[in-house]
Amino acid sequence: TIILISDMAMANTCRGLFLQENYMNQVFKSEIQAFYDGISSRNRESLLKFLDFSASEDFDSNIATHGAVKTVEEYWESQQHWYDGETGYFTAEVVEAEVDGDYGKTVAMVEYSNIGDDGKMFLWKIRIEMDFRRKSGQWYLVRNFNYVLDRG
């Protein structure tokens, strides 16, 4: 009987940890979805909130429209064409989100349409993988890789 109670206590503890982890992942996913929704509406503040300009650690990004970007400042500058523009649209759905302590990873499926340098409209389907680091309760982007799946 003692072993049974012990096994039951262990099962309840594991279940509690699983529910807590699942809750943390859902909260993180909601925060990052709001981040993407802000980008869609060209709200600069939604991006700025996730950028740590004082960070000393490496920043790593490969953006579909700009290629390799190695600093937060370069990343910020590379995004200004979107915020200054009046054409095109950007929609994103976070399809995966995982938190491990102060690190978070997401995968989003994106549709991005705009007018290219050649004056023609384009529509890209992009998979965006982002890694975040939490400092003082705030998530900051540290890695962003874009994979264009379809250049329609």
Instruction: Give the separation between CA 53 and CA 117, rounded to whole angstroms.
Output: 30
Instruction: Give the separation between CA 122 and CA 31, rounded to whole angstroms.
Output: 29
Locus of tokens 């279940």: 15
pLDDT at position 68 is 87
pLDDT at position 41 is 95
pLDDT at position 46 is 92
pLDDT at position 10 is 53
Query: Which of 140, 88, 76 is CA-nearest to residue 116?
Result: 88
What residues does 141 pair with on adjacent strands?
132
Which one-letter amino acid corresponds to residue 39?
A: I
Query: Which of 134, 146, 136 is CA-nearest to residue 32?
Result: 134
pTM: 0.81
pLDDT at position 152 is 76
pLDDT at position 67 is 79
Each residue's pLDDT expressed in tens, for the chain with a length of 152 residues: 455 555 555 555 555 545 566 888 899 999 999 999 999 999 999 999 999 998 767 788 888 777 788 889 999 999 998 999 989 999 999 999 999 999 999 999 999 999 888 999 999 999 999 999 999 999 999 999 999 998 87
pLDDT at position 16 is 52
